[in-house]
Structure 1
Amino acid sequence: MTTTGATLWRPDGCPPRGATYDGTGVTFALWAPLAERVEVCLLDPDGQERRVPLTEQTFGTWHTRVAGVGPGQRYGFRVHGPWDPHTGHRFNPAKLLVDPYARAITGDLVDHSAIFGHQVETGDDTVRDDRDSAPYVPTSVVVDPTFDWGDDRPPRVPWSDTVLYELHVRGYTMLHPDVPPELRGTYAGLAQPAVVNQLVDLGVTSIELLPVHHFVSEPLLRGRGLVNYWGYNTLGFFAPHAGYSASGTLGQQVTEFKQMVRAFHDAGLEVILDVVYNHTCEQDERGPTLSFRGIHNVGYYRLEGSGRHYRDLSGTGNTLNLRNPDVVRLVLDSLRYWVEEMHVDGFRFDLAAALARTDDEVDMAGPFLTAIGQDPVLSRVKLIAEPWDLGVDGYQVGAFPPPWSEWNDRFRDTVREFWLGSPDGVRDLASRLSGSSDLYRRRRPFASINYVTSHDGFTARDLVSYERKHNEANGEDNRDGPHDNRSTNYGVEGETDDSAIVDLRVRQVRNLLATLLLSTGVPMLLAGDERGRTQRGNNNAYCQDNPISWVDWSDQGPWSELRSTVATLLRIRREHPVFRRTHFFTGRLDESGRRRDVGWFGPWGGEMDEAAWHDPNARTLGMFLAGERVARQSEDGHPIHDDSFLLWLHAGAESVKVTLPGPPWALEYSVIFDTSASVPPRRYAAGTELELPGRCVVLLRAD
């Protein structure tokens, strides 16, 4: 299958926004409804600029066709209009602007005061700066949209079977020994067979990429000799980040990205993008003028009062104005482009609560969520919300409507607290193990994206090695990053040669991973946790493009054994649908009136009673999953029957004796997984008193 990127013109004669190549020329179209004049600037390789006025205007979109222009052409816009910051207008034709619909962006942002629309030296954002910014800013690129996709098809992994793996395009392969040096840190490097095969062998189904929309680093950050490594600082919502291209930045990055997606799809892996539509890289009124600000500031951004200052719900200085229908259109056009032209399989939305806000309130029936829910393309891909922002009532975990899933930080905090902290008993743990029905009862268990670690915070190894953050390398005197990590160090802060401490740390990471991968819901792994990756105690490594953030592929001793742990757990999960339920447990008795679909047990072998559930000192919990009661159907409509399992989680430091429940639950049990590797892997009769060592997860099949 070959895609051409052709977009139909509208009946009103308005062309698609952006730069549309037709084989002999390019039509340029820019939405700038309050502009007085718009020019497209065509840049030669030596930097010479030819300005062509956009002579037509249709409902606020300026457009014209330029013959003889083709793919690889660099361009930008100059937009004329009033300079009146007190009312929100910041037009400045001295600033060369990136096309919001650019399919590719090239060039670096240079630290020069001319990139600002105002006179930054004076500190007054109301005084215009008339110096030309063209030599110092990135530029848009005309792209040839044709690409031979062959027989590429999306894997379409059901939500209940999904295992997410969050990774950074650059950091994942920068140190990979099987990736050629010239391809490391690129889309092409990630598509190398050695990398793809390792992901398949691990058992994950869906690769969630940290932001790949073209981004730039903040001037203040570059002034400290650092960069925006994570990429949550978008300049172009349609353009793959040029810095991740091994083949070139004049459109080659688009082809290379598509080749990467095709390689993942060939291996049966989905591609999920972490997208940032809540803000842009232009920061607040003191930030640079690179695109949106100079095109239609009062339309693109939420402004305070009369319009001079920006509403900041993201912590970055600005918030995209998704109350404006044309801005909603921009975001939906971008999302559809990535699905239809780039073949991605879904999105994780950064600070999604900000996208759902109307005025000051989060509105789950607001224009953005409503538009996505009704869109015939977007409503059929995977949608994941980071369900909070920095505004009032911004914490919205459990509130997003179907078909959205959500990052479940309640799972993260509960599991960390149970294994590494001082939990208040086991009640909350039971809710997280069984799919968090207290949060998602109106949806399905796969609405919960379960995770223990993500890019934001400690890695799993650091959770058990550091009690305090160590972010000094970020240049903010260790003030940045969260203070509450629910972590521990077992007596030594940081790395140690004490084998007893190392063994305990490795076991605790096994316990965290086992809890994650055997819980109901959709698990998400952080890249490198299966190898014991460390960030040396940095819990906010957003600006560390160096070995602090890169995955270390060298032998990490006992930490490297975690990979086999993860592969084993994912094999168990894949083979047994009882761990991948599509409906919540009911707790009701079966037809014989003897056994429920889930049972909760204390160490004495009896079911948990009210007193046990409210015991703040409880550190041991047994969970029985009845396989013959799996709420799931096969393709022919028949119910799926599975084995039954008994899962013991024991967080106490000392060993504990547990009694294996007898009839009607089971007659016999077999140990099939043990994080301590000390429980004899044999068969045990029901009623047997089994000794669990301190801090372990043991999974038994009920026979």
Structure 2
Amino acid sequence: MRVTRTTRHRIAPSRYVARAPEPTLRGSTHPSDLGVTVRPGGVDVAIIATHASLVEFCAVDRDPDGTIHERRFALNGPRLGVWTGFVPGIKPGQHYGFRVHGRWDPDAGMRHNPAKLLLDPYGRGVAGGYDLGPACFSHEVDDDLAPVPGPRVINNLDSAPHVPHSVVVDEAFDGHVTHLDTPWDSTVLYEAHVRGLTMTMPGVPQHLRGTYAGVAHPATIRHLQRLGVTAIELLPIQAKLSEPFLVEKGFENYWGYNTLGFFSPEPSYATAAAQAEGPSAVLREVKGMVSLLHEAGIEVILDVVYNHTCEAGIDGPTLSWRGLGESTYYLQTSTTPVDFIDVTGTGNSLDFRLRRVIQMSLDSLRYWVEKVGVDGFRFDLAVTLGRQGREFNSHHPFFVAMTTDPVLRSRKLINEPWDIGPNGWRTGQFPAPTADWNDRFRNAVRSFWLTDQHHQAQGHRPHDSRELVTRLSGSADLFSRGRIPGGRGTFASINFITAHDGFTLRDLVTYNDKHNEANDEGNRDGSNDNRSWNHGTEGPDPELRAARLKSMRNLMATLVLSAGTPMLTAGDEIARTQNGNNNAYCQDNSLSWIDWQTEEWQDDFLATVAYLLRLRREHTVFRPTGFFTGTPRAEDSIPDVTWIDRDGREMPAWKWFEPTSRSFQMLRSGGGHDVDALVVINGLNEDTEFTLPIGRGRPFDLVWDSASARPEIFNDLQDPGSRILLEAQSIRLYLSNPA
């Protein structure tokens, strides 16, 4: 959704003119079925406006010169807070909105203002520009869009010419809405942005680049299949708006975490042809993308933002929910005047104590599953979704409803397990069968391979390896607890090194500090806790490439070989860079887009990542479904995992507390039906000798070494008890046939 900034001097907003609306008929839609439903001869309408005195459905038409015309229809109600009616003559493609009459008392959270044309919270399509100016606010503002001094005064400027409109959508689709059910133990996630993934993708035609169709183009699919990922996790594709402060600077919200409509796909990601045809065509393109990815065996996970809306803080614009009833949707204080409780950092938070908020979120999720075919969701700032006021409840009614819902319970449900509110970090505390982004994994792996290596290079004492060992094993400290034996299981841990926010993998080994100057915020934005290491020089340096690449291979191998569900960030497989920007949320340009023009060393790294993922796919030993016990399972003769020191003996407990424990071996049993895997890790800054363990008494075959630039055939079979020399800061992987 494109946004421009207007002032009274550039566009003169028109005054709202009140006139008697036409009456509507009684519709056949039950009041619980919210939104607009196409019927023979017209549409059924149902919308929540609990405290309104009158709600008008407004059919909006625009002349070629931009003049707005409205046909207004008075809805019936309210019945349990819902206004309903049948509006004849309305067809798919019709733009519409709502005007809500009622009490104006901002101190009490009442901002009914019929001069504001409101979007349908359940609208399936959205269209039109957004001219950010005084008419977009329900209260009087000055030319800087700040409230005029004193009590909030109602703003009678008509917003209809300046805000996006809902659109009645034809949901017909020539294909089939299906789902994939890739088991968790086979799942590899790939986080990507619709535009950034394909803007420069070779083989994708120019007119499809940066679009839904481009994501499903054969060239894109070939890359995903070659890499070996099973699910693409798309940054938000629900309709969005940019924050006013970004618009003022000429930027836009590229990532999309500022939702305008929870049921509407973002139109700017569609092809130009679909955008010109309208929201029905945009929706068909989204469905087509999902269908084609399914045909290729790739699941589609949507990153969704139910924790807040694009209406910003208490003095933000009035676009939808605010005008329908702030107290129906937003987390508020109990003071007078009321204020918003902001646990998201955006100015507002949706209140999941409220039935209508939970209903809207669940209805939206079911819509994307049933009508579009998506296979799961990643919930942005998911702690907010479980808050009962200021407190978090892991058994919140929203989680109970979602995880028992017959449509949603079988989908992949992934939490970002934090927000910025009180006690907002909750990794591992969400209910089964959901999974969590494991920030403890991210921090431990970065620290072991980067910041601790930096400390050693400076002559300082590094940390021991206890934290890394816990993360390699599936983070049982976080996910094994609970009333169910085994807790939430190993695959509840979404292991990741990088994500859309933060450094790319290449930048982790290239920069000690963030470089966000392009965001025009004085480099104050973005995290300062990067746990990165530039290997001696800040920024690009060809002489450091070999060392940096080995660190990248160490990071990637740790991710792929750890128990849990791995998630890669798009472009890391070819070592993309953002030039040290760790918060590129407003950079819809080459800084954020993946540059697919690669050099030979990048192709080598891609081959390495694909090879590691192939090993994981081919061998169940890398995908344990339960937590390690250190004892044999079933009829096996060796423990499921054995920790071994560099002398080939079982690691005594006291050694884990020593920095020398940074050189150790992890022997994982294949259970007698798969190969055994020996992971040898040297986290010291010096080449180190290891004695291979006895295991089953069978030879170990070297299959991968992080000291090698690309995968190779080693023909290196080692007997138990053999002595090997590992390069400083490296990993080796051996496999041993159990038969």
TM range (shorter): over 0.9
| In 2: Cα distance, 1:206 partner to 1:650 partner | 32
After superposition, the C-alpha distances for 1:183-225 in whole angstroms (9 at most, x for unaligned) are 1111011111111121112110011000011000011111111
Contact 2:639 2:669 in 1 (8 A): yes
- 1:666 alignment counterpart: 697
Q: Secondary structure at the match of 1:119?
A: coil
| In 2: Cα distance, 1:371 partner to 1:231 partner | 26
| In 2: Cα distance, 1:42 partner to 1:48 partner | 8
The residue type equivalent to 1:206 in the other structure is A
Contact 2:29 2:45 in 1 (8 A): no
Give the deviation of 1:155 after TM superposition.
1.9
| In 1: Cα distance, 2:115 partner to 2:431 partner | 45
Comparing 252-261 with 600-609, which one deviates more in the overlay?
A: 600-609
Quickly say closer, same or farther: Cα 1:589–1:179, change in 2 above 3 A: closer
- 1:388 alignment counterpart: 418
- 2:502 alignment counterpart: 457
After superposition, the C-alpha distances for 1:4-59 in whole angstroms (9 at most, x for unaligned) are xxxxx999943621111124211122111111111111111323222222134322
The residue type equivalent to 2:48 in the other structure is W
- 1:367 alignment counterpart: 397
After superposition, the C-alpha distances for 1:555-590 in whole angstroms (9 at most, x for unaligned) are 134123211111101110011011111111111146
Give the deviation of 1:401 after TM superposition.
1.0
Give the deviation of 1:677 after TM superposition.
1.8
Identity %: 48
| In 1: Cα distance, 2:699 partner to 2:234 partner | 44
Match of 1:194 among 219, 229, 245: 219
- 1:3 alignment counterpart: none
| In 1: Cα distance, 2:121 partner to 2:496 partner | 34
Match of 2:431 among 401, 417, 421: 401
Q: Secondary structure at the match of 1:243?
A: helix
1:285-434 alignment to 2 at 5 Å? 285-304=314-333, 305-306=335-336, 308-422=338-452, 424-434=463-473
- 1:213 alignment counterpart: 238
Q: Secondary structure at the match of 1:271?
A: strand
Match of 2:127 among 99, 103, 106: 106
Comparing 555-564 with 458-467, which one deviates more in the overlay?
A: 555-564
Comparing 191-200 with 670-679, which one deviates more in the overlay?
A: 670-679
1:194-593 alignment to 2 at 5 Å? 194-246=219-271, 247-248=274-275, 249-304=278-333, 305-306=335-336, 308-422=338-452, 424-441=463-480, 442-498=487-543, 501-589=544-632
After superposition, the C-alpha distances for 1:281-305 in whole angstroms (9 at most, x for unaligned) are 0011121111100011111101122
The residue type equivalent to 2:692 in the other structure is L
After superposition, the C-alpha distances for 1:375-428 in whole angstroms (9 at most, x for unaligned) are 111111111011111111111111111111000000000000110012521111
Comparing 356-365 with 329-338, which one deviates more in the overlay?
A: 356-365
Runs of 4 or more off by more than 6 Å in structure 1? 9-12
| In 2: Cα distance, 1:307 partner to 1:694 partner | 63
The residue type equivalent to 1:274 in the other structure is D
> Is 1:26 aligned to residue 43 of structure 2?
yes
1:143-222 alignment to 2 at 5 Å? 143-150=169-176, 153-222=178-247
* Structural RMSD (CA): 1.8
- 2:483 alignment counterpart: none
> Is 1:137 aligned to residue 166 of structure 2?
no
Quickly say closer, same or farther: Cα 1:590–1:581, change in 2 above 3 A: closer
| In 1: Cα distance, 2:283 partner to 2:256 partner | 17
TM-score, normalised to structure 1, is 0.94
Q: Secondary structure at the match of 2:583?
A: coil
The residue type equivalent to 1:211 in the other structure is P
The residue type equivalent to 1:496 in the other structure is D
Quickly say closer, same or farther: Cα 1:12–1:199, change in 2 above 3 A: closer
Q: Secondary structure at the match of 1:513?
A: helix
- 1:683 alignment counterpart: 717
TM-score, normalised to structure 2, is 0.90
The residue type equivalent to 1:278 in the other structure is N
- 2:687 alignment counterpart: 655
1:606-685 alignment to 2 at 5 Å? 606-628=649-671, 641-662=673-694, 664-677=695-708, 680-685=714-719
After superposition, the C-alpha distances for 1:586-629 in whole angstroms (9 at most, x for unaligned) are 11146789621101111111111122111134322211011126
Gaps of 5+ in 2: 1-25, 453-461, 481-486
After superposition, the C-alpha distances for 1:426-449 in whole angstroms (9 at most, x for unaligned) are 111111111111111122100100
Give the deviation of 1:681 after TM superposition.
4.1
Gaps of 5+ in 1: 1-8, 630-640
- 1:45 alignment counterpart: 62
Give the deviation of 1:149 after TM superposition.
2.9
Q: Secondary structure at the match of 1:294?
A: helix
Give the deviation of 1:123 after TM superposition.
2.5
Aligned length: 680
